[in-house]
Structure 1
Amino acid sequence: MSTSTLDAVRPATTVNTAAAPRFDMYAWIHKALRAFMSDTLVRIGRLDVSDPADRDAGLAQLNELLDFCCDHIRHENDFIHTAIEARRPAGASRVAGEHVDHLDSIDALRSEAAGLAAAPAASAPALALRLYRHLALFVAENFEHMHVEETQHNAMLWEQYSDAELVALHDRLVASIPPAGQLLVARWMLPMLPPVDRALLVGDMKAGMPPEALLGVLTMVRPHLDAAGWRKLALAAGVAPGA
């Protein structure tokens, strides 16, 4: 098995009807994405533009989020949309069109962030507020967009593919993510899952990673969990909670 951080990470099956649990490849990554977006929006909203260090750190997180979003769009286009349209032509056309709009919005947000970074003190507060409001609109649009994917796209995938086929598709997608990208996913995904799903994820990591690599992931995630959450994760990982 690969030692890559997320190679074996598979969201638990979820229920799309009372009697039919199915594999849901959107569930976990969208939780990570919603958390990353929400945290970044809050950070940009409280940005101290009079403090260059705080301003630059906040804008760096924003740019990391926008990179994450670009990668996520590419993964969905290349893997999920291709799979949908292979068996239902034009089935992904609506969401694909929204992806084009999202890329345009990302370019606009990058431009506004660069303008804020270079702005004189007198104009910085107004530019920061404009960036915050436009980022809020982007986040709101993406939240609605992800709901469509989790409902309509999943319905098409479940109709056209078996769970075994969907797991294989998911694994090919994950294998395309470089190690640094997988670590970023782990940072935002692990803390956002319920303890039972967190235990599944860390169990897969434990089976496929050297102990020191797993400890590095846990160390990265620990500050983002409360005490009870950390105890449960440490137990699932087989490490001492006080380590």
Structure 2
Amino acid sequence: MPKIDLYRNVHMGQRARLFTLATELGAADITHSGAAAEQAERCLAMTQELREHADHEDTFIHQLLRERAPEAADALDAEHIRLDAAFTTLDEQARSLPGTPADALPEAQHALYLALNEVISAYLAHLHLEETVAMPALWQYAGDTELDAVLAAFRGSRTPEEALTDLRRMLPALPPAVRAAIARGVVEAVPGQEAGLLAAATTTLSLGQRQRLYEDLGVPEAWALQVQP
């Protein structure tokens, strides 16, 4: 039976969306009306999401880590200093972009792109530390019952809308078998609402990913599209 991993799936979703944001920001035609504001808002939304994610980890995971493996918890706390500085710089660059004069937009766009990539650089190091230091420490010093309780507490704190957003962010970045296992568990938890929930949760998947998911679940795609939430 696979080990309970509190970080893996959500981190895969974060990496995918950070890389996509960086690629699309770098290639964006910033001269179009509203484009600067759109790119700025995307960056601000990302830093807000990452801050909220850190708060969730601190509330539901890292208290246990501090109790069982304080040195690993201290290492994560040190990482937050670099992350906070990178987030602040990115936010400042993003907020200034929409008001930038047209002739200065190309350089401002690139400055925002560099700030975003600094966030990505710092964040990747943070994820690596959580996955290779914090999670192994929890495997060593906490049992499956405690790790299950962490997951249950987090899931219980999410509204249905927030849980749906979590799925949409995560599912496209996961391999088919993992995606199917998560989707199966979600739809089985709400008898009578399976069709609408599956349709809503898979809106961020590509056509090929959706088709593979329905095949793995053993249901026709039409079934998943019968009811919209």
TM-score by length of 2: 0.88
Q: 1:181 to 1:96 in 2, by over 3 A?
A: farther
Cα distance in 1 for residues equivalent to 2:71 and 2:145: 23
Q: Name 2:123's counterpart in structure 1.
A: 142
Which is worse superposed, 95-104 or 107-116?
95-104
Q: Name 2:51's counterpart in structure 1.
A: 70
Do the aligned residues in 2 keep the contact of 1:32 with 1:185 (CA within 8 Å)? no
Q: Deviations over 1:20-52 (max 9, x none)?
A: xx2111110110110111111112111222113
User: How many percent identity over aligned positions?
Assistant: 25
Do the aligned residues in 1 keep the contact of 2:86 with 2:122 (CA within 8 Å)? no
5+ residue gaps in structure 2? none
The answer as to 2:113 corresponding to 1:129 is no
Do the aligned residues in 1 keep the contact of 2:60 with 2:154 (CA within 8 Å)? yes
- The partner residue of 1:116 within 83, 97, 106 is 97
* Matched AA of 2:124: F
Q: Name 1:92's counterpart in structure 2.
A: 73
The answer as to 2:198 corresponding to 1:214 is yes
Do the aligned residues in 2 keep the contact of 1:41 with 1:132 (CA within 8 Å)? yes
* Matched AA of 2:212: K
Cα distance in 1 for residues equivalent to 2:138 and 2:216: 31
Name the SS for the 1:49 alignment partner: coil
Name the SS for the 1:40 alignment partner: helix
Cα distance in 2 for residues equivalent to 1:240 and 1:176: 32
Q: How far apart are 1:64 and its partner, in Å?
A: 2.0
Q: Deviations over 1:53-106 (max 9, x none)?
A: 333332222222112101111111222211111123343111112123312321
Q: Name 1:79's counterpart in structure 2.
A: 60
Q: Name 2:213's counterpart in structure 1.
A: 233
Do the aligned residues in 2 keep the contact of 1:44 with 1:59 (CA within 8 Å)? no
Cα distance in 1 for residues equivalent to 2:216 and 2:189: 15
Do the aligned residues in 1 keep the contact of 2:82 with 2:122 (CA within 8 Å)? no
| Greater relative CO, 1 or 2 (CA 8 Å, sep 6+) | 1
Size of the alignment, in residue pairs? Answer: 220
- Misfit runs of 4+, over 6 Å: none
Q: By percentage of residues, which structure has more helix?
A: 2
Q: 1:46 to 1:180 in 2, by over 3 A?
A: farther
TM-score by length of 1: 0.83
Name the SS for the 2:70 alignment partner: coil
Q: How far apart are 1:238 and its partner, in Å?
A: 5.0
Cα distance in 2 for residues equivalent to 1:58 and 1:185: 22
